[in-house]
């Protein structure tokens, strides 16, 4: 799972188009906010985000453009991407929740090339129809049911084993009051470092015990970064803490 991708803002052969180094998650959020509506059913949004993710990772994984002599690994020519596009909050939250997932088939390592079209201006047999997925969501289809309707019953949701730019991977379970161990210690260390830049986050003991003080620090972090302030380190919170920790640590290294 890449930390950044290079977005070529134009046709691949356009040498005058700008290349942007964009955080992987921010790219997915931008594309999804450009291509689908935030008012669509949650299952539809999730299905479309997974399709965007899988397509993007396939292009990166196979070095599709580099193999053709271009100096970028993904391009806005594949997707609708607008520099500095406003991202919708619920789409952002969906990406934060599933950004490390992608679609694949049994016994195939690489992410599936999940091609799609809007389904209104352009029709695309055997590809996902964005508006068609909206209608399926309206009928109560789940995200995986929507995706299998277009790509076949053998696709499944996979998860990346490594995420670039993240010091430690999510332990696989939520951390909350009563949790103990190295994962709690990691979060405590990272929150204390982040707190040097965001001073409303209280300093906490690095003891590997998730008590009320750690919960308060997590709640304040979540409040600052627009996450549900429940004091629980779930998947989105873990990776947001990691992202901010990496950012402030690198700033410190440059000073």
pLDDT, average across residues 130-159: 95
Mean pLDDT across the chain: 89
Place of tokens 């990272």: 190
pLDDT at 166 (0 to 100): 60
What pLDDT, on the 0 to 100 scale, is given for residue 38? Answer: 96
In the chain, what is the straight-line distance between the N-terminal and C-terminal CA atoms, in Å? Answer: 28
The mean per-residue pLDDT over the stretch 234-249 comes to 86
Say yes or no to pLDDT of 255 above 50: no
Question: What are the pLDDT digits (tens) for 174-199?
Answer: 999 999 999 999 999 999 999 999 99
> Closest by alpha carbon to 93, among 34, 157, 28?
28
Greater pLDDT, 162 or 78: 78
Q: What is the pLDDT of residues 106-124, one digit of tens each?
A: 887 789 999 999 988 888 8
**Ramachandran category for residue 165: left, alpha or beta (phi over 0 → left; psi -120 to 50 → alpha):** left
- Name every residue whose Cβ is closer than 8 Å to that of residue 107 and which is 6 or more positions away in sequence: none
**pLDDT on residue 167:** 65
Cα 2 to Cα 79, 164, 229, distances in angstroms: 18, 5, 28
Question: What confidence tens digit (pLDDT) does each residue in 67-79 have?
Answer: 788 888 778 788 9
> Does pTM top 0.75 for this prediction?
no
Q: Is the predicted pLDDT of residue 161 greater than 80, yes or no?
A: no
pLDDT confidence of residue 253:
47
């Amino acid at each position: 799972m890449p930390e950044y991708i290079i977005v070529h803002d134009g046709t691949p052969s356009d040498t005058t188009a700008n290349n942007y180094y964009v955080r992987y998650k921010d790219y997915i959020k931008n594309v999804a906010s450009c291509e689908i509506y935030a008012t669509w059913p949650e299952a539809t949004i999730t299905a479309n985000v997974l399709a965007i993710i899988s397509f993007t990772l396939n292009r990166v994984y196979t070095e599709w453009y580099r193999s053709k002599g271009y100096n970028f690994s993904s391009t806005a020519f594949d997707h609708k991407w607008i520099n500095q596009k406003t991202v919708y909050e619920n789409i952002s939250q969906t990406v934060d929740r599933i950004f490390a997932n992608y679609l694949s088939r049994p016994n195939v390592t690489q992410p599936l090339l999940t091609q799609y079209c809007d389904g209104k201006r352009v029709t695309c047999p055997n590809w996902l129809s964005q508006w068609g997925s909206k209608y399926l969501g309206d009928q109560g289809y789940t995200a995986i049911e929507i995706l299998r309707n277009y790509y076949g019953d053998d696709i499944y949701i996979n998860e990346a084993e490594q995420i670039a730019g993240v010091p430690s991977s999510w332990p696989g379970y939520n951390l909350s009051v009563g949790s103990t161990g190295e994962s709690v210690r990691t979060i405590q260390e990272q929150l204390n470092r982040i707190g040097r830049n965001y001073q409303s986050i209280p300093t906490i003991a690095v003891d590997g015990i998730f008590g009320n003080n750690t919960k308060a620090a997590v709640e304040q972090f979540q409040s600052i970064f627009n996450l549900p302030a429940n004091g629980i380190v779930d998947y989105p919170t873990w990776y947001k803490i990691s992202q901010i920790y990496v950012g402030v640590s690198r700033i410190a290294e440059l000073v």
